[in-house]
Structure 1
Amino acid sequence: MNNLGSNIMLVLLVVFLASCKNEVSEVETPKTFTLEGTIEGLENNTLYYRMPNKDYDALGYRTDSVVVTNGSFTLTDSIEGHHFVTFFTRMKELIKGTPRGYYPAKSGYLAAILYPGANIKVSGKASDFMDAYPENSDSINNELGTFHKKIYPLMNESVNYLVKSSFEENEDIQNTLKEKADSVTAIVNDVKKEFVTNNPSSVAALYYLSDMMMRSQIDNDIAIEAFNNLDSALTDMAYYKDISYRVNAINSTKEGAVAPAIKTTSTLDGNEFDLASYRGKYVMVDFWGIWCGPCVSEMPKVKEFSKKYNGRLEILGVNSGDKKQRIIDFVNKNDYQWQQVMDVRDSEVDNFVLRYNVNAFPTKFIIDPEGKIVKKFVGSGEEAFTLLEELLK
């Protein structure tokens, strides 16, 4: 064979090998996980779960289920990234009922960290809590399972005190039971803090650091130190990014700081809105959701102030958790015509809840005419409106 023929054959061989390599790479990149287990006492029930999927509800989840037969189940589903997912059943033994409703106890949920390629085994029992954990599988879920074995019995003990107190008529006994619940909860939080600070390479600890910051269960200084010590291998995970936004927001939302920018087309009409356009006036930024009863109950008061101080006060609503059309219908029905923007959970720009380190709803920020934060108010109450009266009188 002449040199030209040899060269052609060599090129074809290289192209063929590259093609094969690409095909192998695609095969080697799994998009699914498998979760299988046997849980004594679960019998013939159904496990329900919510999977991250931005095409479904406003928070970016879809609800699904897996059938349990004689305590055993197998679930295979697709997923992108690492996600802490909980599974629950409607077994009455696991529902912490009270005379007025129930406690949504985390100890009643099966939990696992799901990600592409994971093959997770679960075992345990369902008694008056979900005493079942991922184990003998991958290291990520082994860490989570070992940790949950420590805190789930304590969490269950705490909620059982609360359930018992709800049926107690004697006020002194009620208070004693609630104090016991608080005492055990404090122990749980201490165990969590130890876990997140001592395991800088753990995906499970990363999730719990994010969760504790969201729920205000950890001091800012401790959270920042734990974040700064995290393994660099975790930086591409969504939980890491969430924490980084909250860490930045701890300083950027202090009193006297210039309020973080809100410049977005995530509005009800699709037109761009810029918070900076409100300079020269006082502003109330109201983080809310239709699903939030206290948020909705305060909105007539917000409306009253928007009219009373028209021209001197601007209201900005930041909705989290509702679809656009539902928000439009709600504000039009109630004539709430101030500016609304929508929080977008997985956006680099429009994740306002994280950028303002919002931990509860409603949360309100009062901003002065220079764009600086005067005060942050968490929860419902008259304090924000009292301050506005003082500033605008």
Structure 2
Amino acid sequence: MKNKSKLTLLAMLTCACTNQNSYNLTGEISGLKNDSIIVYMIDPITKKATNTDTVAVKDNKFAVNIPDSSLTSLYIIEKPKGNETIRTYDNPLFLFLPGEKMKIHGDIDNLSASGTEIYDKLNEAKDITNKEDELKGVRKMFTEAHLTQNQKAIDSLNVIIKELNAQLSTSKLNYIKNNPNSILSGYLFQNLRTADGIEAEKLLGENLKNGVLGKLISNFAFNYRMFDSMENIKPGKPAPNFKLKNLDGEYMTLDSFKGKYVLLDFWGTWCGPCKKGMPDMKKYYAKYSNKMEIVGICCRDTEKEWREGVEELQLPWTNLYNGQSDEIISSYAVLGYPTKILIDSEGKIVEISLGESEDFYKKLDELFRE
């Protein structure tokens, strides 16, 4: 952060706590040893800090105006003095919606929020909050067990944490089932078990998916589908079907290549390693094109960029356009680029390779060399 912008933000954030009604984030925090806190503002999608600054606390109270042009997560800790080590806390990330006014209260080790629709509804959902409190207490014991290297306690607490997480996820799912259009349901959609998340996505109202929480919901939905797919995208498992357009504008599916091996290559013109590996791809396509078809699936490009990239790189195999869609990315659990997935003539996965790998090409030689 440049000095000028930092000073401007500091002036905006740091204040005494008089006339709290004029601020969008106020609070009363006990248990502080020092006279200031640090407010981290985090993008809930990328998980990256967008702003960080110090806020004065007087008589346990503080009041600040934070930028509210977009959805923001807030994390609050005590600011250390001098050479003191920064203490971290098991406090939640508070989700702050544009235009809202939020109140933070409690001990610095156990903060809560109120004043917004999400947190006022959450505070009434005792089945959920009680499980969150219980889980927080067990996690504290787990941390202490690690510090004392008590392996027996660590193993026992691990089992309890797993069970409590499952119970909490079930409670959240039940709330979503009963309140599919509540904004709290959109908030609770975060951090569910994979199976619960997949079920919950089908239940959430369109008002939530198209509203202020839309991107957050979409991001978690993608992750749930990805984690679910990772259980199925393994050698020996059937490969998911797809439907994508080729260079002639015709739709093609996995079944279009039935009867021969198919090598799916997930790539993009923006991906340096993808383009660097094309000469080897061409070499092996020339060697084994009578036994397998390479199907390039271009992702995260515009159609113009895709077409120009295929022309520039002179890619001789089948080229399909996926664009910005996440459907095939999640169904094939594509974690990075390039990803190569070899599928046999019966539609079952043979090999998966992330990045460029000499071992992958050796596998092709083992399979196809006469």
TM-score with structure 1 setting the length? 0.52
SS of 2:105's equivalent in the other structure is strand
Pair 1:133 & 2:122 matched:
no
> What percentage of aligned pairs have identical amino acids?
13
Structure-2 separation of matches of 1:170 and 1:50: 34
Closer/same/farther in 2, CA of residues 373 and 258 from structure 1, 3 Å limit: farther
1:137-148 equivalence runs, <5 A = 137-146=115-124
Question: What is the aligned partner in structure 2 of residue 73 from structure 1?
Answer: 62
CA contact (8 A) 1:112 1:144 kept: no
Deviation at 1:36, TM superposition (A): 1.6
Q: Which amino acid aligns with 1:109?
A: P
CA deviation profile, 1:76-133 (whole Å, cap 9, x unmatched): 234446x36131426668537xxxxxxxxxx323413322x21222222222xxx222
Alignment root-mean-square deviation, CA: 5.5
Q: In the alignment, is residue 114 of structure 1 matched against residue 97 of structure 2?
A: yes
Match for residue 35 of structure 1 among 20, 25, 40: 25
Instruction: Tell me, yes or no, if the aligned pair for 1:50 and 1:61 is still in contact at 8 Å.
Output: yes
> Are residues 386 and 218 of structure 1, via their aligned partners in 2, closer, same or farther at CA, if it must alter by over 3 Å?
farther
Residues 143-165 of structure 1: per-residue CA shift (max 9 Å, x gap): 24455743442332342243234
Unaligned runs of 5+ in 1: 1-31, 97-106, 264-274, 288-298, 320-336, 340-347
Given the alignment of the two structures, is residue 63 of structure 1 paired with residue 63 of structure 2, yes or no? no
Aligned mates of 2:40, 2:352 — CA distance in 1:
35
Q: How many residues of Structure 1 are paired with residues of Structure 2 in the alignment?
A: 284
Aligned residue runs from structure 1 range 1-393, under 5 A: 34-42=24-32, 43-51=35-43, 62-70=50-58, 71-80=60-69, 83=71, 85-89=73-77, 95=88, 107-115=90-98, 117-127=99-109, 131-135=110-114, 137-146=115-124, 149-169=129-149, 171-212=151-192, 217-219=193-195, 222-237=196-211, 238=214, 239-242=216-219, 255-259=238-242, 261=244, 281-283=262-264, 285=266, 310-311=284-285, 350=324, 352=326, 355-356=329-330, 366-368=341-343, 374=349
Deviation, 1:260, is 6.4
Counterparts in 2 of 1:172 and 1:36: CA distance versus 1, 3 Å: closer
SS at match of 1:37: strand
Give the Cα–Cα distance (whole angstroms) in 2 for the partners of residues 244 and 171 of structure 1: 35
Summarize deviations over 1:211-246 as a string: whole Å, max 9, x none.
43xxxx131xx5454333333432412145456767
Tell me how far 1:309 sits from its aligned partner: 8.1
In 2, the alpha carbon distance for the partners of 1:65 and 1:229 equals: 39
| Partner Cα distance (1:68, 1:377) in 2 | 53
1:193–1:218: 8 Å Cα contact kept in structure 2? no
**Structure 1 residue 196 displacement after superposition:** 3.0
TM-aligned CA distance change 1:315 to 1:374, over 3 Å = same
Q: Distance in 1 between matches of 2:328 and 2:69?
A: 21
Equivalent residue of 2:175, what SS?
helix
Could you tell me whether the CA contact under 8 Å between 2:43 and 2:50 is conserved in 1? Answer: yes
AA in 2 matched with 1:218 = T
Gaps of 5+ in 2: 1-21, 80-84, 247-251, 289-293, 301-312, 316-321
Q: Secondary structure at the match of 1:356?
A: helix
- State how far apart, in whole Å, the 2-side matches of 1:118 and 1:360 are: 37
Other-structure match for 2:14 = none
Checking the alignment, whether the CA contact within 8 Å between 1:46 and 1:89 is kept in structure 2 is: yes
Q: Which secondary structure state, in structure 2, belongs to the residue aligned with residue 45 of structure 1? A: strand
1:142 positional shift? 1.1
In the alignment, what sits opposite 1:343?
none
Quote the Cα distance in structure 2 between the aligned partners of 1:378 and 1:153. Answer: 42
Assess if the C-alpha contact under 8 Å between 2:55 and 2:62 holds in 1.
Answer: yes
- Please give the TM-score of this superposition, normalised by the length of structure 2: 0.54
Is the partner of 1:282 in helix, strand or coil?
Answer: strand
Q: SS at the partner of 1:141? A: helix
Q: Distance in 1 between matches of 2:198 and 2:54?
A: 39
